[in-house]
Amino acid sequence: MELAPLVLSFQIAATATVVAAVLGIGLATLLANTRFPGRDLVDVIATAPIVLPPTVLGYYLLVALGRRSAIGHAFEAIFGSSIVFTRTGAVVAATVGALPLVVKSARAALEGVEPTLMRAARTLGAGPARAFFTVQLPLAGRGIVAALMLAFARSLGDFGITLMVAGDIPGETQTASLAIYDAIQEHRDAAALGMVLTLTTIAIAILYAVNKLTGGRDVR
Amino acid sequence: MSGETLKVSLRITNGFALDVAFDVPPGVTVLFGPSGSGKSTTLSAIAGLVRPSSGRISIGDDVWFDSAEKTHVAVHRRRVAFVFQSLALFPHMTALENVVYGMERALDPGSRAKRAVALLERLRVPHLADRKPRTFSGGEAQRVALARALATSPRVILLDEPFSALDRELRIELISDLRESIRELDVPVLFVTHHRQEARALGERLVLLEGGRVQRIGKVAELATGTDASFDETPLDADRMLEP
């Protein structure tokens, strides 16, 4: 079994999950707790990666982050390497794929917290930030952890967006899902099977854990 | 800070129409009326949870809301003790943590905890200190919620039918405990109920609300003895359920 692509997948998925957590929980909080013009549009854009083809997402990312784009140019000037076709690009791809799951689930979890509890916190002298961090966030905790686990599972399995934005460079951007594709093309069935079974086991374990985590609350 | 009077004059025009004006001197004023008469909305506006369309809300020399001057003090700066109908105890915190939550943060943690324990003792639930709300009985939860509200050194206490879920005996017991705790604080207390017996047991003054307007302001005693028709003839289903 080829270990390098699996290890790389884990590293990229872990980083992407952290980035998606910060962006996703922030966006979810904004959508759940505030009313602002363009809120529905933000919601739609944050959710779009679920339904858009990976090639379309990859195209947008290439245009936005490519070496000739403003962002890509600035990034390269500061860090000395480009975003696209590097490990950074793979992280960006995995993050974009995972973000909608975090936004959707975290928002549902935050909105599921009884609003009277936040009102109570406010009358007890808590400003909006304290009420959020001490009451709403902890009570939405389980749902948010579940959201992050799903995000990790999604990041681990990304294929299309990664291929478009980061390519398929062994040791650099060749994640397990890409390595499986290559192995099958080259008739290395045993290598493919090892990675297939590993990814499947992890995905099922995560989904099981997520069900346990969110199911317990529904029953009560 | 003691001896301040809460002056309320507010109008809400969007959605539920409300137009009320009354004063709440220190002591208990009962806000009485059938459901849908605007009692809860009035409390929410006083607390700052709802912003009135126009009017003025002040306590002593402080103005909390004034539509003419565009004043609207944020909820968390008003120091209002609000006991919600659902109590709204924080389920992830122990009774002690709930009570400590609203205390002035200038106090050090040690003296905050000490005061919280004293309050739980006064409300006869010191044994709940380290337990979480899901293990409380209805009466216990009420007592912890009251302790939490009193712990904030409030300038105004707002009680939104806090005893509605309790049976008669428990309710009488709690009312007498509450009366004692409130008397020491000497602040305006607005107590929403649609139970006549609760009104009689706790209140001194009474504001009768109906259809979003003040129908009458007077003393609980005169109104409850039947001299005022509109009070005793208000149809109240929950009240009937209370009669043995």
Let me know if residue A133 belongs to a domain: no
Whether the per-residue pLDDT at A218 is higher than 50: the answer is: no
**From the centroid of its chain, how far is CA A184?**
27
Q: How far is A142 from chain B (nearest CA, A)?
A: 12
Let me know if residue A25 belongs to a domain: yes
Instruction: State residue B244's pLDDT score.
Output: 36
Instruction: State residue B230's pLDDT score.
Output: 45
Answer yes or no: are the C-beta atoms of B142 and B181 closer than 8 Å. Answer: no
- Between strands B6-12 and B18-24, the pairing is antiparallel
How many domains does chain A contain in total? 1
Compute the mean pLDDT over every residue in chain A, rounded to the nearest whole number. Answer: 93
Residues 6+ apart with CB under 8 A from B127: none
3-state secondary structure B66-93: ECCCCEECCHHHCCEEEECCCCCCCCCC
Residue in B closest to A136 by C-alpha: B90
CA nearest A1: which of A216, A200, A209, A195? Answer: A195
Amino acid, single-letter form, for residue B160: D
Chain B CB within 8 Å of residue A124 CB: yes
The pTM assigned to this predicted structure is 0.84
Q: Among A1-15, A71-85, B196-210, which stretch is predicted with the lowest mean pLDDT?
A: B196-210
Answer yes or no: are the C-beta atoms of B46 and B29 closer than 8 Å. Answer: no
Let me know if residue A48 belongs to a domain: yes
Residue in B closest to A127 by C-alpha: B76
Report the residue of A113, A122, A124 to disrupt the B interface, i.e. the one with the largest count of B CBs within 10 Å. Answer: A124
SS3 state of residue B10: strand
Let me know if residue A212 belongs to a domain: yes
Distances (CA, A) of B27 to A204, B3, B24, B181, B204: 62, 9, 8, 11, 7
Closest in A116, A124, A127 to B102, CB measured: A124
Instruction: State residue B233's pLDDT score.
Output: 43
CA nearest B153: which of B87, B109, B190, B104? Answer: B104
ipTM: 0.86
User: Which chain B residues have any C-beta within 8 angstroms of a chain A C-beta?
Assistant: 47-49, 74-82, 84, 86, 88, 90-92, 101-102, 104-105, 148, 152
Q: How far is A123 from chain B (nearest CA, A)?
A: 5
Report the residue of A123, A137, A139, A217 to disrupt the B interface, i.e. the one with the largest count of B CBs within 10 Å. Answer: A123
Let me know if residue A132 belongs to a domain: no
Chain B CB within 8 Å of residue A22 CB: no
Cα B230 from Cα A177, distance rounded (Å):
76
Q: How far is A118 from chain B (nearest CA, A)?
A: 9
Any idea what the Cα angle at residue A18 is, between residues A12 and A23, rounded to 5°?
A: 120
Instruction: State residue B223's pLDDT score.
Output: 57
Domain boundaries, chain B: 93-153
CATH number for position A54: 1.10.3720.10
Let me know if residue A128 belongs to a domain: no
Cα B232 from Cα B223, distance rounded (Å):
8
B239 vs A85 pLDDT, higher one: A85
Extract the tokens encoding B138: 């209805």
The range of the structural domain enclosing residue A170 comes to 4-104+145-219
SS3 state of residue B15: coil
Instruction: State residue A127's pLDDT score.
Output: 94
Residues 6+ apart with CB under 8 A from B199: B30, B32, B191, B193, B206, B220, B224
Cα B43 from Cα B50, distance rounded (Å):
9
Residue in B closest to A117 by C-alpha: B88
Per-residue buried b or exposed e for A31-41, using 16+ beta carbons within 10 Å of the residue's own CB: bbbeeeeeeee
Chain B CB within 8 Å of residue A71 CB: no
Answer yes or no: are the C-beta atoms of A68 and A124 closer than 8 Å. Answer: no
Answer yes or no: are the C-beta atoms of B117 and B129 closer than 8 Å. Answer: yes
Answer yes or no: are the C-beta atoms of B124 and B177 closer than 8 Å. Answer: yes
- Residues from chain A that touch B91, judged by Cβ atoms under 8 A, are 117, 139
Whether the per-residue pLDDT at A168 is higher than 80: the answer is: yes
Closest in A117, A125, A138 to B76, CB measured: A125
Cα B92 from Cα B196, distance rounded (Å):
35
Closest in B76, B81, B104 to A122, CB measured: B76
CA nearest B235: which of B18, B7, B27, B32? Answer: B32
Q: Among A51-65, A142-156, B37-51, B168-182, which stretch is predicted with the lowest mean pLDDT?
A: B168-182
CB contact under 8 A, A123 and B74: no
- List alpha helices for chain B, DSSP H: 39-47, 95-101, 109-122, 138-150, 168-185, 196-202, 220-222, 229-232, 237-242
Instruction: State residue B181's pLDDT score.
Output: 81
Cα B2 from Cα B183, distance rounded (Å):
11
Instruction: State residue A216's pLDDT score.
Output: 58
Instruction: State residue A2's pLDDT score.
Output: 77
Q: Cα dihedral angle (B29, B32, B35, B39), rounded to 10 degrees?
A: -30
Positions in chain B whose pLDDT score sits under 50: 1, 224-244
Whether the per-residue pLDDT at A220 is higher than 60: the answer is: no
CB contact under 8 A, A122 and B80: no
CA nearest A6: which of A148, A197, A207, A204? Answer: A197
Q: How far is B230 from chain A (nearest CA, A)?
A: 33
Answer yes or no: are the C-beta atoms of A165 and A90 closer than 8 Å. Answer: yes
Instruction: State residue B164's pLDDT score.
Output: 76
CB contact under 8 A, B49 and A120: no
CA nearest A59: which of A129, A160, A157, A141? Answer: A160
- Residues from chain A that touch B78, judged by Cβ atoms under 8 A, are 123
